[in-house]
Amino acid sequence: MQTTSLKFRQLASQALADETLRTALGDVERIMPVIRNSALDQLENPEAWFDRASASRDRTLAELDVYLEAFEQKVQQLGGHVHWAADGTEACEIIAGICETAGARTVTKSKSMVTEEIELNAFLESRDMTVVETDLGEYIIQLRGERPSHILAPALHVTLSEVAETFHRHHDLERAAPLREPTEMLLEARAVLRDRFLSADVGITGANFLVAETGGVVIVTNEGNADLTASLPDTHIVVTGIEKVVPTLEDAGLMLRLLARSAAGQRLSTYTTLIHGPRRAEDSSGPSNFHVVLLDNGRSDMLGTQLQEMLRCIRCSACINHCPVYTAVGGHAYGSVYSGPMGAVLTPGLAGLHAAAHLPNASTFCGRCEEVCPVRIPIPKMLRYWRDREFERRMTPRSVRYGLDWWTHMNASPRIYRSLLGIAARLLRGLSSRGWITRLPGPGRAWTRYRDMPTPAGQTFQHQWRRTRGRAGES
């Protein structure tokens, strides 16, 4: 998995200066919490559903091998094939092999973060196949040669006029009237992709869940593109992570209720599909070849560690939509296909801490991610885990390490700590005007460049406590 996470600071600064991006992110920040909350309110006591969902995920992860083997067996009974891939390269090789056996020239795909993770498109293209993304957002960024900036809305950063311009450039529309309305753009994309659906040799989809009980693959979309991808070509390949298995249909139903609500404020997504194997002898249509590729790529290493709970994730994106850092800098700054709080935990897990070192620091530890997560993943705790590893491996910048050392010494001596703090409080008060500090000197400037700081009380808490304790005690 390629990342540019080491450039987080630089990319984040660029993002902060990008006005159109800020508008799109502002919409996420404003709209998503409202529609999510009202959808969750439809469930009496959503917290109880979160408890059930996280318990179901924990139960599955504790016995993951059992459910994976059960799933595999069911798929085989239905006439499908299951492949296991230790890493991204192996998964790409397996998939390319299946495509080549099918004589594939054109491959349609519905949105799958796992295929982004393993960079499947580039791999298939290097084997002379044409790969067409069919989710509208993925299609737009594919044409633009960009990476997704949100796990559910990959083209979040692209404005409508940029979409129109992209279609003009790539669809041979040079002389046609400009596309103005979103509905015109939708019709244009629908018409172009219709032909692709009908002519594809292989369809590749992800999976939201794998049901061990039945061997079913659950795929959720609002556009219907996954169903056309999965049912029209003669070969269907499902690519997904090993953690996506759930024991029974009841577990799937539980997750589906929370996924649609947390992701997009829907009771249920428009299309929820459960696929069981290839076409049957009596069927007139449907793929004759059905393959499931189960990807590990670092996931099994997280089992049995402090990161295991991250494997509960159902990719709903609630933590992303509610994150003050994500909604300020957007997805590209994270430099990984997984962005936001979940990406900051997952990326070092999958790509290695060396490739993602800044991400665990891209957090204010406000805790909203954990609050909104429908499977109760303690994201801040995991970010802290990564920061500890980073410190241990001396990857933390020297200034921060020295700063922390200095802080520790100072804390060890209450008298020095108190007197320094008293001086700082008075100094800060002197810098303020009308209750706010807008410019700090020295390293503090980095803080006040983007935000103001409220004026501190001018006296330390301990100072005030000493003055008022007597009075409070009397009353």
Contacts of other proteins in 124-143 (CB under 8 A): 134-137, 140
Min CB(448)–other proteins separation in Å: 34
Residue 3 interacts with other proteins (CB under 8 A)?
no
How far is residue 167's CA from residue 172's CA, in Å, rounded to a whole number? 8
What is the dihedral sign for C-alpha 214, 217, 223, 229? negative
Residue 204 interacts with ligand SF4 (CB under 6 A)?
no
Min CB(264)–ligand SF4 separation in Å: 12
Residue 458 interacts with other proteins (CB under 8 A)?
no
Residue 153 interacts with ligand SF4 (CB under 6 A)?
no
Give the one residue of 239, 313, 355, 383 binding ligand SF4; rule: CB under 6 A.
313
Residue 231 interacts with other proteins (CB under 8 A)?
yes
DSSP 258-319: HHHHHHHS-SS-SEEEEE-SS--TT-SSS-SEEEEEEE-TTHHHHTTSTTGGGGG-----HH
Query: Residue 178 has what DSSP assignment?
Result: P
For residues 214-273, which are near ligand SF4 according to CB under 6 A? 262
How far is residue 322's CA from residue 341's CA, in Å, rounded to a whole number? 9
For residues 63-92, which are near other proteins according to CB under 8 A? 63-70, 77-78, 84-86, 90
Give the one residue of 141, 164, 318, 355 binding ligand SF4; rule: CB under 6 A.
318
Residue 6 interacts with other proteins (CB under 8 A)?
no
Residue 271 interacts with other proteins (CB under 8 A)?
yes
Which residue's CB is nearer to other proteins, number 47 or number 250? Answer: 250
DSSP 46-67: HHHHHHHHHHHHHHHHHTHHHH
Which residue's CB is nearer to ligand SF4, number 196 or number 244? Answer: 244
Query: Reduced to 3 states, what is the DSSP secondary structure of residue 43?
Result: coil
Per-residue binding letters, 431-450, with other proteins (x by CB under 8 A): --------------------
Q: Are 249 and 212 in contact (CB under 8 A)?
A: no
How far is residue 144's CA from residue 165's CA, in Å, rounded to a whole number? 10
Residue 366 interacts with other proteins (CB under 8 A)?
no
Give, in order, the Cα–Cα distances in Å from 181 to each of 186, 187, 225.
Answer: 9, 10, 22
Residue 249 interacts with other proteins (CB under 8 A)?
yes
Q: Which does 199 bind (CB under 5 to 8 A by kind): other proteins, ligand SF4, none?
A: none
Residue 376 interacts with other proteins (CB under 8 A)?
no
The sheet with strand 289-295 has its strands ordered as 81-85, 289-295, 235-241, 202-205, 106-109, 130-133
Which residue's CB is nearer to other proteins, number 321 or number 363? Answer: 321
Q: Are 83 and 295 in contact (CB under 8 A)?
A: no
Q: Which residues bind ligand SF4 (CB under 6 A)?
A: 262, 313-319, 342, 372-375, 377
